[in-house]
Amino acid sequence: MPEQVQNKPVRLPSPDHPITIEQNKSRVFVWAGGNLIADTRDALTLHEASYPPVEYIPIEDVVVSLLVETDHTTYCPYKGDCSYYSITGPPASENAVWEYRDPFPAVAMIKGRVAFYPDRVDLIEQRDEDQ
């Protein structure tokens, strides 16, 4: 198991901290500030340990003109370095969107995708294709 990347710990998913990624069969919509900001039939659902599932949406299915990159960054020892975007307003939603631009190999499927904090957008909605 790799131990460090630039003095940061690197951990692999394990039975103690499982991470699975699966194709979401539903259509996923994200609303923010009353605007439809994302609409995809290609979301991936990431399940990590006991955290709530997270929908990773292809960046091409997001209205990027409503996003502005911020200086905020974080690090996850399971996924890598994380960059953030704010959603322009009104009302603005600071650091509401995140992206792992170069995720670790165990979660490489989320590259080119973004996720949204549910409490920083109006709604993340999933609909079966027949709805």
Q: Given a cut of 70, is residue 100 above it in pLDDT?
A: yes
- Distance between CA atoms of residues 90 and 25, nearest Å: 32
What predicted TM-score, i.e. pTM, was given to this entire model? 0.93
- Distance between CA atoms of residues 19 and 107, nearest Å: 8
For the chain, list the domains and their CATH numbers.
Answer: 4-127 (2.170.150.40)
Could you report the per-residue pLDDT of 60-76, keeping only the tens digit for each?
Answer: 999 999 999 999 999 99
Could you report the per-residue pLDDT of 19-46, keeping only the tens digit for each?
Answer: 999 999 999 999 999 999 999 999 999 9
User: Taking a C-beta distance cutoff of 8 angstroms, is the pair 56, 43 a contact?
Assistant: yes
